Amino acid sequence: MTGLRAVLIACLVCLCASAWAAPTIPAGGRIGIIDMVSSDITHFHVGRAEANSFMRTYRGNWVAADLIDDPLIAALNGAGFQPVAIAASDALRKDKRSWIIEKPRSDRLPRGCVKELGRIMKEQNLVGLIVVAPGANSEPEYVDGDRYSRLPGTLEGFGFSTSDVPIGTTKAGIFDFTQMVVVAKDGDGAELLARDWGGNRVYDWPDFDAGPNPKQLSEDQIAQLRPVLADAMKKRIDTRLMPRLK
């Protein structure tokens, strides 16, 4: 009798664990990609005195999706998934700041966001969804070396920083304040599987040349950032995102 009770209890534990197990994205599953990152590039210069700091925003001569969607689609295809790019819904665009952007390190999503992502997956016949969005520089203290602590907390998206310290204008630091939110379909809702925050990585811009006027860079100068960002995004997708999906 004791042995039978033990078997029954073990079966009950297994059933409960199965019922409460987090959903996964099955191999071969159809995964949607929603990209809400713009091609804007922000240059923030950190002066020795606050009055010497300045910020400029440029429009890159590329589509942000080329830096993100193309390598993401290639990586998902290579892992046996079926990626498909889809447009953000009106609700997601309207509430993206409070739902996603403001807390890029949170391990939870607001209820309204979960409901909307679940609706999108059901409508598009998806088993998973990756939302790529900006994320504010809200917690710079978590970055190694405290490198972003003097950058505004409102910065988001792609950009680079220079400073008044020696070689501060010849060695620019790239910031990637974007995030990749991965959810799986869970009934009619969504379950957060992973959230990769680019702000906790530091990149350098090799051979950066500010030219004669650091406050007004040319289109050609900004264009030189594209291959650097493309390489950084590919490495991030391959080494940080995909291992969490396979």
> For the segment 47-80, what is each residue's pLDDT rounded down to a tens digit?
988 889 999 999 999 998 899 999 999 999 999 9
pLDDT of residue 8: 44
pLDDT of residue 7: 44
* Range of 18-22, 23-27, 131-135 with top mean pLDDT: 131-135
Extents of the domains making up the chain: 24-244
Read off the pLDDT of residues 155-208 as tens digits, 9 standing for 90 and up. 999 999 998 887 777 788 899 999 999 999 988 889 999 999 998 887 888 888
pLDDT of residue 149: 81
Q: Closest by alpha carbon to 68, among 214, 181, 204?
A: 181
User: What percent of the chain clears pLDDT 70, i.e. is strictly above it?
Assistant: 87
Q: What are phi and psi of 142, to 5 degrees?
A: -85, -5
Average pLDDT score over residue span 225-241 = 94
Residue 13 confidence (pLDDT) above 60: no
> Which of the residue ranges 12-21, 32-41, 113-122 would you say has the lowest mean pLDDT?
12-21
Strand ranges (DSSP E) for 36-93? 40-46, 54-59, 82-85
pLDDT of residue 244: 87
- DSSP character for 49? S
Q: How confident is the model at residue 9 (pLDDT cuts 50, 70, 90)?
A: very low
Report which of residues 211 and 43 the model is more confident about. 43
Average pLDDT score over residue span 125-149 = 81
pTM across the whole model: 0.86
Residue 12 confidence (pLDDT) above 60: no
pLDDT of residue 43: 96
Please measure the distance between the N-terminal and C-terminal CA atoms of the chain and give it in whole angstroms: 43
For 26-41, letters b (16+ CB in 10 Å) and e give eeebbbbbbbbbebeb
